Amino acid sequence: MVIAVSGLLLAAGRATRFGGPKLMAALRSGPDAGIAIGVASLRHLAGAIERVIVVVRDEGGLARCFRREGVAVVVAARADDGMGASLATGVAALPADQAVVVALADMPWIEPTTIARVADAVGNGAVVAAPFHHGQRGHPVGFAPSLRDELMALTGDEGARAVLARHRASLVRIDVDDAGVLRDIDRPSDI
């Protein structure tokens, strides 16, 4: 039986190292040049998964930007508690019987085909699935519906690391040539 899969884009960070509204900054080169970082990340996720929800920290310009892309947006009231709290908020907004592929809005170079492979893995029964590039685990990470309660209990700034650690033996490794799975944007020089 194939399980339905939703995409969850985490976009509720403070961007303190970037020094401003990182996800609204435009990419400078490549096929997505001129597109906001967060929008490029969303488009890649939505290009692979039909249902996508974005988690933001407030109802400001970033939320409006994502809504213009036609996706549902939820506000993480406890965003200052860290990525775990934002992830829990997003998972709570999804149907309980769906798997979820969790992507980060500051990783705009992940290829939609990579995201689709992660979604296919959890949609076909994997408990946890993630892409690996040259032996290093990257993003996005897919989680089965059976991990919903664990994901919704997350707090702090470690995201789902504890859930991944508990289910390491079940992790489906997807080897990819996509270096975007390891590349995020922390500072303006990273663009």
Identify the structural domains of the chain with CATH numbers, from first to last: 5-190 (3.90.550.10)
CB within 8 Å of 26: residues ≥ 6 apart: 33, 34, 35, 36, 37, 191
H/E stretch holding 116 reads: helix 112-123
The Cα 62–Cα 73 span in angstroms is: 10
DSSP 150-183: HHHT--SSSTTHHHHHHTGGGEEEEE-S-GGGG-
The Cα 12–Cα 14 span in angstroms is: 7
What was the pLDDT predicted at 105?
95
- Angle in degrees, 0-180, between the axes of helices 61-68 and 37-46, rounded to the nearest 10: 40
Does position 15 have pLDDT exceeding 80, yes or no? no
Tens-place pLDDT, residues 78-104: 887 888 889 999 999 999 999 999 999
What amino acid is encoded at 132 in this protein?
A: F
Residue 104 near residue 139 (C-beta atoms within 8 A): yes
Confidence of residue 185 (pLDDT cuts 50, 70, 90): confident
Tens-place pLDDT, residues 150-182: 999 988 777 788 899 999 999 999 999 999 999
What was the pLDDT predicted at 161?
86
Residue 32 near residue 108 (C-beta atoms within 8 A): yes
The Cα 24–Cα 30 span in angstroms is: 17
Cis check: omega of the bond before 21, within 30 degrees of 0: no
Among the listed residues 127, 123, 126, 135, the one whose alpha carbon sits nearest the alpha carbon of residue 176: 135
